[in-house]
Amino acid sequence: MTARAGTSHTSKRATTIPRVRQILAILAREYKSPKCALVHSSPLELIVATILSAQCTDARVNQVTPALFAKYRSAADYAEAPAGRLEEDIRSTGFFRNKARALRNLGAALVRDHHGQVPRTMEELTALPGVGRKTANLVLAEAFGVPGIVVDTHVRRITQRLGLTRRSDPDHIERDLMQVIPRVSWNRFSLRLIQHGRAVCKARNPRCEDCALLRVCPEGLSRV
């Protein structure tokens, strides 16, 4: 039984890899220089912006953060901020009470455990309040150049449509993708899929007829 299971997994991966190469080539052609949409100039600014982006558009976050980052320059500034004042500073991002609490707790943890600095490992990052693997992977990739796959709503939706995963849990999706996407491509793959999700492969009414990935997308082919 073990041998057959292993063979099945190997066979599935072998059949997936050529299509993955096609997907990566198409995405590279369509989105040559992918960038993180959240404007930041430090690891702390990035992790704060990522927390604010929950249930909020990156464009809205980028409207709020210039004044926020000018006012709160260190982890200690967030830790010591009066709750009501910080809530008002981020009100327009939505869920501002929960986010303000997360930012204050984050600042306190960074001061207490990391001398006010954003740590550089997955284990340390995910131990911080309000930081899951998605945020940790983004911070590691963007701030420290550590390869990672960021599974946000766009990446989850598109990889499911492409048949690269059948999972719904982001952590499981991340593991599935790590098996078939070359490590050197992890960061750019995520950023390109996020761009593609915003521009073409939308949650509702995806523009399959305009999609460069159509020929390698099982769900897209079933729609047209």
- Catalytic sites, residue numbers: 134, 152
CB 216 within 8 A of CB 26: yes
**What six digits make up the tokens of 175?**
């593991």
Cα angle 175, 178, 181 (rounded to 5 degrees) comes to 145
Cα angle 48, 52, 58 (rounded to 5 degrees) comes to 105
Q: Which residues in 68-216 belong to E strands, given as ranges? A: none
Query: What is the spatial distance between Cα 161 and Cα 85, in angstroms, rounded to a whole number?
Result: 43
**What six digits make up the tokens of 44?**
């702390």
**What six digits make up the tokens of 165?**
């995963």
> Could you tell me which residues come within 8 angstroms of residue 128 by beta carbon, excluding any fewer than 6 positions away?
47, 106, 109, 110, 119
Residue type, 104: R
Q: What are phi and psi of 128, to 5 degrees?
A: -80, 145
Residue type, 108: A
List helix spans (H) across the chain: 2-30, 43-52, 58-71, 75-80, 83-90, 96-114, 122-126, 133-144, 153-161, 170-180, 186-199, 218-223
